[in-house]
Amino acid sequence: MGSIKAVRGGVTAPQGYRAAAVEARIKHPRPDLAMLVSDVPAVAAGMFTTNRIQAAPVRLCRDRVRRGRAQAILVNSGCANACTGTRGWADACRMATMAARALDIREPDMLVCSTGTIGIPMPMDRVEAAIPKLVAGLNRKGGDAAAKAIMTTDTVDKQEALEFRVNGKTVRIGGMCKGAGMIEPNMATMLAFLTTDAAVAPGALKQALRDAVNRSFNRITVDGDQSTNDTILFLANGMAGNRVLKPGHPAWRLFCEAVQTICLRLACRLVKDGEGATRFVTVCVKGAASDADAQKATRAIANSLLVKTSWFGADPNWGRVIDAVGYSGARVEESKVDIRYDRLRAVRSGQKDARTPLSDLEKVLRQQSFTVEVDLHLGRGTDTVYTCDCSVEYIKINAAYMT
């Protein structure tokens, strides 16, 4: 990473951001309403779920962020405000209006995100009552409280912050995210928020975000389900005082590297906290006829329930891996396929590598974290995704998570 170093503070690590959380009792008695505010209007960029059913706050954010500017975000857990019809849309708008008024900022600069159960209307009276307390609690160290308030089935909060220098100025990027189930590439079921005090040109911010998301959040999968609420928002308020970053600026690549780093770290935290996950697995396909083929293969492996359950059992069941590649739609010639678990070759030219003892493979699979690498030996296409196993606990969590 060279000159990029990790710091503490999450989304409030960069200058000019405040955050807070309160218990609005939206579903459970625990902090469930968070706010993140920039002291000045910021350049903003966002990416959203590709699900055709989209929650009201997703539609609101998508509309507003298109202007390339925002100042504050109100986020709740416990209720997704999805499949709530015209009432849900009115509720999302009203949340924005109330929060903008309480903060005394321009209404269009206010964004709203929700996560939780689908199909239940927002308890607006409780949200309304909580907003003044939330605004009163805003502070420069509130990143931690906010990261906890946006959790649903997450078992731990997920925060990162990085620091580096641009034009002799210290610049920071902070981030937090939530998500544990309904996680699949193409903006998994998750909310992620990034802040920076760097000055960044609007189009450039969007470009840096898109590239980073494609290499991080779009490469993770827990269960292959895509949610109605996925949102990632990025605010850049310029308070570090650097010359405006954009392609061509000497520090542009450093900035992009930092954005990618923070996104990848947050994304891997999501996977590690995957519902019931006991193992973190990097699935890498190389030698594919094309990158698109490699993607088909990594996704098929990472989403195969049979592959995921074998990982849970610490079973180097490469038969299930090659089976998934076979039905993925990628071009494959059985006699050319090699499969490795970490450095150990399990399959050579489509058959068991007799020189690798099963006990050695099992040792790899018993680790908390390992890589499954498939080489198709057909071309130069590659792809990598980050995923986890599927455990008994996953089923228990999701059989019990009430409507």
Contact 300, 385 (CB under 8 A): no
Q: Is 152 a catalytic residue?
A: no
**Shortest Å, Cβ 322 to a copy of itself:** 6
Q: Is 362 helix (H, G, I), strand (E, B) or coil?
A: helix
Is residue 261 part of the contact set for a copy of itself (CB under 8 A)?
no
Owner of token pair 């005394």: 104
Is residue 7 within the footprint of a copy of itself (CB under 8 A)? Answer: no
Of 11, 19, 80, 122, the residue at the interface with a copy of itself (CB under 8 A) is 80
d(CA 279, CA 371): 11
Residues 20, 103: Cα–Cα separation, whole Å: 13
Interaction between residue 228 and a copy of itself (CB under 8 A): yes
* Non-local CB neighbours of 300 within 8 Å, separated by 6+ positions: 324, 325, 327, 328, 329, 330
Both tokens of residue 113? 């995100």
Rounded to the nearest 5°, which phi and psi values hold at 163? -135, 140
Q: With respect to a copy of itself, which residue has the nearer C-beta, 17 or 318?
A: 318
Q: Which member of 323, 345, 363, 371 binds a copy of itself (CB under 8 A)?
A: 323
- Among the listed residues 349, 367, 368, 369, the single contact to a copy of itself using CB under 8 A: 349
Does residue 401 belong to the site contacting a copy of itself (CB under 8 A)?
A: yes
Per rule CB under 8 A, is residue 182 in the interface with a copy of itself?
yes
From 2-10, 80-88, 90-98, 191-199, give the range in contact with a copy of itself by CB under 8 A: 80-88
The site string for a copy of itself over 285-314 (x = CB under 8 A, - otherwise) reads: ------------------xxxx--xx-xx-
SS3 86: helix
Task: Report how far residue 183's alpha carbon sits from residue 271's, in angstroms, rounded to the nearest whole number.
Answer: 8
Q: What is the CA 135 to chain-centroid distance, rounded?
A: 26
* 25-to-111, 128, 320 alpha-carbon distances in Å: 21, 12, 45
Distances (CA, A) of 307 to 180, 300, 315, 339, 373: 19, 9, 9, 14, 14
Query: Residue 316, interface with a copy of itself (CB under 8 A)?
Result: yes
Q: CA–CA separation, 229 vs 36, rounded Å?
A: 18
Binding status of residue 355 toward a copy of itself by CB under 8 A: no
Query: Cβ 91 to a copy of itself, closest distance in Å?
Result: 13
Check binding of 152 to a copy of itself (CB under 8 A).
Answer: no
Distance from C-alpha of 21 to C-alpha of 131, rounded to nearest angstrom: 10
- Answer yes or no whether residue 227 interacts with a copy of itself by CB under 8 A: yes
Q: Which of 189, 195, 228, 387 is the catalytic position?
A: 189
- The binder of a copy of itself chosen from 6, 327, 357, 360 (CB under 8 A): 327
Distance (Å, rounded) from C-alpha 393 to C-alpha 276? 5
Tell which one of 139, 334, 360, 367 touches a copy of itself (CB under 8 A).
Answer: 334
Q: Hey, how many other C-beta atoms are within 10 angstroms of the C-beta on 67?
A: 11
With binding defined as CB under 8 A, does residue 174 bind a copy of itself? no
Residues with a catalytic annotation lie at: 189
The residue ranges that bind a copy of itself (CB under 8 A) are 50-54, 80, 82-85, 117-120, 181-182, 184, 186, 223-228, 303-306, 309-310, 312-313, 315-320, 322-327, 330-332, 334-335, 347, 349-352, 358, 390-392, 394-396, 398-403
